[in-house]
Amino acid sequence: MRKAPVAIRQCVIPSIHTDLEVFLALVQTADHDVAKVFSLIECQAIVQHVWSQVRWIAIADIYVQLLWILLWMGMSFSINNEGPTGVSYYTGIWGLVLSPLWLINMLQEIAQFVGHRSWGMSMEYLTSPSNWVDVFRMLVTGGLLSILILTNDEHVNTASLRVVMACLVMFRWNKSLYALRCIKTFGLPMLPILRAMRDINAFCFVLLFVLFGFSHTYYTLGIHQDISSAFNAVYRLGVLGDFDLQELEGVDPHFGVDGNTMMPVDPDKTSMFYVVRVFMIVATFGITVTLLNIFIGVLSVAFENETEKAESTFWHERSHSTLMFCATVEGFYKMHCPFCRRRVLHKRANAHDQGAGKPMRRTATEKADLQSPRHLWYCFRNDDDCFDAQEEENNFTLADVGELMEEFEGRQSMDISEIKHQVKHLSAQNQELIQELKEHRKESAQLRRLVGTQP
């Protein structure tokens, strides 16, 4: 059995693990300080404790997201295949099945806003772009489900409805992936990938400018009258390395008859024959060879850097998602939901919240903390005291400890005996010195008397 040393500690500040201001300070940690802050066991302990209170909501949210995906897949298969009685897509039934999930998401979003408002953080909620994206997505989803329920199969083949549905499906897949970030098994390997993709924004901006520049150059040659066709050709040439010189030149090969066989015949050279080939060489070297290889290097460095701080990034992301779920719990608590009768984080009163000269009002939680303070205890693996578990001689048992204690006591008794002997020896030497000093004083006195009697 492998053994690992652990350490147990206590936060001396009472109720720090339920203080909203403390948790907000962790959530709002700047990116350049994340590695320093969340490498501390104390910060991880606070986040882990609060997370344990809302973990059930996070797991339920993941299952809801996965259920969304399964139902969207069922609807996609349904609308792309005819029913047994001809064209029957059952979109009204699918809309009714998806409606309860939509209501759950709407209640969750409303509870989040109510929770932020209860904490006095309405502006933080309203100024968050991600919240507006979620609200917009849910409104569009609600409108789409209403159309499907009310009109059944009437508009199912409309291009606009299919586009909206496709966008919602993509949003839902991304939402499901993002919901897994707070689970350590998925979050630790996934977050470096997502963060690395975010870190290459500047390079993607440069690459986009180069692509548009080459597309504009190619479009100016007048080979394609449609700018989208010109961009597609340059994208295939530069990014995918897939090109056809005759297609870039804007000509098509034709077939000739050679006996009984039809053979492709190259078209005649156009005025853009050599221009297209020079353009192909410059574009492939500038984009395919140079920029894309730099892109691989930049992406590798970004991924390596994010992997080094993956642990701290994970705890920071978990704190973000935990705060969101705590706001949901706070909102349901304020709405007097029967399944949510206990708050997780509490905003505590302070002197700035009170008027001048007025006594400070304390919340019920603060009064309870004053009467019986609650402290956060946490346990963690202490590798500084870790012995090598692979070596048998370093695995100490209770018998080994007893033998070591007996050996130590034996050595201690021997050391005490030796010290006593040395003390006795020093005491005897001290007595001899004292005796010699007395004799020396007598001799000095006799000499002084003799000197005093001489004329």
Choice among 29-33, 114-118, 294-298, 417-421 with the minimum mean pLDDT:
417-421
**CB proximity list for 145: less than 8 A, separation 6 or greater:** 95, 98, 99, 102
- List pLDDT tens digits, range 139-197: 999 999 998 888 877 778 888 889 999 999 999 999 999 999 989 999 999 999 999 98
pLDDT at 428: 85
Distance of CA 47 to the CA centre of its chain: 13
Residue 395 in any domain: the answer is no
**pLDDT for the residue numbered 431:** 86
User: 267, 284, 308 — which closes off a domain?
Assistant: 308
Domain for residue 379, yes or no?
Answer: no
Confidence of residue 365 (pLDDT cuts 50, 70, 90): low
Task: Please provide the distance, in angstroms rounded to a whole number, between the alpha carbons at the two ends of the chain.
Answer: 99
Give yes or no: residues 279 and 248 share one domain.
yes
Residue pair 125/113 in contact (Cβ under 8 Å)? The answer is yes
Same domain? For 65 and 169 the reply is yes
Residues 227 and 288 in one domain: yes
Q: What is the mean pLDDT of residues 342-364?
A: 58
Q: Which residues contact 242 (CB under 8 A, 6 or more apart)?
A: 236
Mark whether 259 and 112 lie in a shared domain: no
Supply the pLDDT for residue 383: 65
pLDDT of 361 reads 52
Q: What is the pLDDT of residues 250-270, one digit of tens each?
A: 887 766 666 667 776 777 778
Which amino acid, residue 273? Answer: F
Q: So what's the pLDDT on residue 363?
A: 54
378: in domain: no
Q: Kindly report which listed range (271-275, 380-384, 433-437) carries the lowest average pLDDT score.
A: 380-384
C-alpha to C-alpha distance for 237 and 249, rounded to whole angstroms: 13
Q: Which of 269, 286, 308 is the last residue of a domain?
A: 308
Backbone torsion region of residue 120, taken as left when φ is above 0, otherwise alpha when ψ lies between -120 and 50, otherwise beta: left
Q: How many Cα atoms are found within 13 Å in the side-chain-facing hemisphere of 322?
A: 29
Residue 196 belongs to a domain = no
Domain encompassing residue 447: 412-453
The alpha-helical segments, DSSP class H, found in 80-155 are: 91-118, 122-126, 129-151
pLDDT at residue 392 above 50? Answer: no
Same domain, 44 and 108: yes
Question: Could you tell me the pLDDT band of residue 3, with boundaries at 50, 70 and 90?
Answer: low
In this prediction, residues 235-239 reach a mean pLDDT of 90
Q: Note whether 214 and 316 are same-domain residues.
A: no
Instruction: Decide: 310 and 38 in contact? Cβ < 8 Å.
Output: no
Max mean pLDDT range (11-20, 161-170, 244-253):
161-170
Q: Is the dihedral of CA 85, 163, 181, 106 positive or negative?
A: negative
Same domain, 18 and 45: yes
In a domain? residue 357: yes
Q: What is the pLDDT of residues 295-351, one digit of tens each?
A: 999 999 999 999 999 999 999 999 999 999 999 999 988 888 877 777 788 776 554
Are residues 75 and 135 located together in one domain of the fold? yes
Kindly tell me if the per-residue pLDDT of 85 is higher than 70.
Answer: no
Average pLDDT across the chain, whole number: 82
Bridge partner residues of 419 (DSSP): none
Q: Total domain count for the chain?
A: 3
DSSP of 222-280, one letter per residue? TS-S-HHHHHHHHHIIIII----HHHHHT---EEEEETTEEEEEPPPP-TTHHHHHHHH
Clarify whether residues 245 and 315 are in a common domain: no
Question: Higher model confidence: residue 396 or residue 47?
Answer: 47
Q: Which residue has the higher pLDDT, 354 or 325?
A: 325
Which of 286, 308, 330 is the C-terminal boundary of a domain? 308
| Domain assignment of residue 210, yes or no | yes
Can you give the three-state secondary structure of 52-83, one letter per residue? HHHHHHHHHHHHHHHHHHHHHHHHHHHHCCCE
Least confident of 119-123, 250-254, 260-264, 429-433: 260-264
Query: Which pLDDT score is estimated for 360?
Result: 46
pLDDT of residue 89: 63
Same domain, 126 and 139: yes
| Claim to verify: residue 339 and residue 283 sit in the same structural domain | no
Q: How confident is the model at residue 211 (pLDDT cuts 50, 70, 90)?
A: very high
Q: Is the Cβ–Cβ distance between 402 and 408 less than 8 Å?
A: no
- On the question of pLDDT at 87 being above 80, the answer is no
- Structure confidence at residue 387 (pLDDT): 43
In-domain check, residue 7 = no
What is the pLDDT, as a whole number, of residue 322?
A: 93
In a domain, 181, yes or no: yes
Residues 135, 260 share a domain: no
